[in-house]
Amino acid sequence: MSGIRVGVFGGGAWGTALALVAARAGRTVTLWARDPDVVAELGSAGTNAKFLPGIRLDPRFGATGDLAAAAAADILIAAVPAQATRGLLRDLAAHVRPGVPVLVAAKGIERGTDALMTEIVAAELPGRPAAVLSGPSFADDVARGLPTALTVAAADGDLAERLSAALVSPSFRPYAATDVVGVQVGGALKNVIAIASGIVVGRGLGASAQAALTARGFAELGRLARALGAEPETLMGLSGLGDLVLSATSRQSRNFSLGIGIGEGRPVAALTGTGAKLAEGAFTASVALDLAQRHGVDLPITGAVAAVLAGRLSVDAAVEGLMTRPLRREGT
Ligand SMILES: NC(=O)c1ccc[n+]([C@@H]2O[C@H](COP(=O)([O-])OP(=O)(O)OC[C@H]3O[C@@H](n4cnc5c(N)ncnc54)[C@H](O)[C@@H]3O)[C@@H](O)[C@H]2O)c1
Ligand SMILES: O=P(O)(O)OC[C@H](O)CO
């Protein structure tokens, strides 16, 4: 397996960390980044100061701005934001050999189409099998070699196992799965609930409220996932419960931090505008709501987050709305 070449696409925090993961697993790795400065810095200093400050990338891997060069690989990993994934895959189409698997590492659902990442691979790169990587994992932790466990899901279970075997190392433990819908919905929705949890913390509503909201958010995540065909037990795993626990409680999470800022009363536009850190949940909230409405699923917390982000609802009105909903049985 040592001759396996891995092409990683995305010069941000996650793409860089995953290039390191593949290199630690003994693969021959080329990282493609859009930004020439990132390519130059990776090549000369072996750092990516903008996205992974203070981390020396060891072992080193190749970096390029040439899409075709990175695409000449046996496994491709797409690690740009969810809303940019279709454009990347479209640009890659001319360069990817048939049968080469594409592992998408973004956590989101596409705006305008409500497409999951695996559906985008199928549409843009037919004949190249799709897989997804998800689970509790901050790029900074992964890059530092701290222990993490994630899920690699593909409809073809053998492919999920092969990809897991290609990436495993003493600090990076992948679990193979076949429920691509459950894994993707878990990874996308946890970001929205993390924003909600951050709002509760930023507003000073207390640890009890934070725990209640996280549990009800988890129920919400499960409702949407099941409506889309996910297996219920998937949500109990790394990409559902595992990632929600991480993202809804840690200030390392950009989504949680966005929520804290909103809860503290800072303007949403300033927190999400140009130059702000990526918080995928800000995109996913309205898409998930759209999907839920189409499938007849009630997502009150996601709805409140989407309305607060859009400026249609104040934080206080959102909290009051959630607390005064008609009473219902737990588990529904
Ligand atoms: N950072 C993490 O800890 C982490 C962990 C797991 C999953 N993810 C997921 O990985 C995805 C990427 O996140 P990130 O943390 O790397 O974000 P980031 O902001 O650190 O980096 C994003 C990168 O994508 C590039 N990019 C943006 N639009 C592009 C386009 N149209 N074409 C090519 N490149 C483009 C940017 O230049 C940047 O290099 C997200 O979906 C995120 O949820 C991140
Ligand atoms: O910083 P966040 O909120 O994008 O979270 C990063 C990862 O998804 C955590 O698993």
Mark which of 154, 178, 202 sits at the end of a domain: 178
Numbered residues of the known binding site for substrate? 107, 254-255
Nearest residue to 142 via CA among 57, 71, 63? 57
Task: Please classify residue 77 by burial: count the beta carbons closer than 10 Å to its beta carbon, then call 0-12 exposed, 13-18 middle and 19+ buried.
Answer: buried
Residues 171, 283 within the same domain:
no
Taking the C-alpha atoms of residue 16 and residue 50, their distance in angstroms, rounded to an integer, is: 11
Mark which of 178, 200, 229 sits at the end of a domain: 178
Coil vs helix vs strand at 174: strand
CATH number reported for the structural domain that contains residue 286 in this entry: 1.10.1040.10
Q: Is the pLDDT of residue 221 over 70?
A: yes
Report if residue 330 sits inside a domain. Answer: no
Residues 156, 188 within the same domain:
no
Residues 155, 167 within the same domain:
yes
Ligand found nearest the CA of 88: 1
Taking the C-alpha atoms of residue 324 and residue 332, their distance in angstroms, rounded to an integer, is: 17
Read off the pLDDT of residues 109-165 as tens digits, 9 standing for 90 and up. Answer: 999 999 999 999 999 999 999 999 999 999 999 999 999 999 999 999 999 999 999
Nearest residue to 74 via CA among 121, 106, 27, 39? 27
Residues 17, 147 within the same domain:
yes
Q: Is the pLDDT of residue 2 over 70?
A: no
Residue range 76-102: mean pLDDT, rounded = 98
Number of Cβ within a 10 Å radius of residue 154: 25
CATH number reported for the structural domain that contains residue 99 in this entry: 3.40.50.720
Taking the C-alpha atoms of residue 86 and residue 107, their distance in angstroms, rounded to an integer, is: 13
Distance (angstroms) between ligand 2 centre and the Cα of 98 equals 31
Q: Show Cβ contacts of residue 79 under 8 Å, excluding neighbours closer than 6 positions.
A: 8, 9, 10, 12, 14, 15, 18, 105, 106
ipTM of the complex: 0.99
Strands (E) in 128-263, as ranges, are 130-134, 148-154, 172-177
DSSP 9-51: E--SHHHHHHHHHHHHTT-EEEEE-S-HHHHHHHHHTSB-TTT
Boundaries of domain holding 225: 181-323
Residue range 11-29: mean pLDDT, rounded = 98
pTM over the 0.95 mark: yes
Which pLDDT score, from 0 to 100, does residue 1 have?
Answer: 57
Distance (angstroms) between ligand 1 centre and the Cα of 12 equals 5
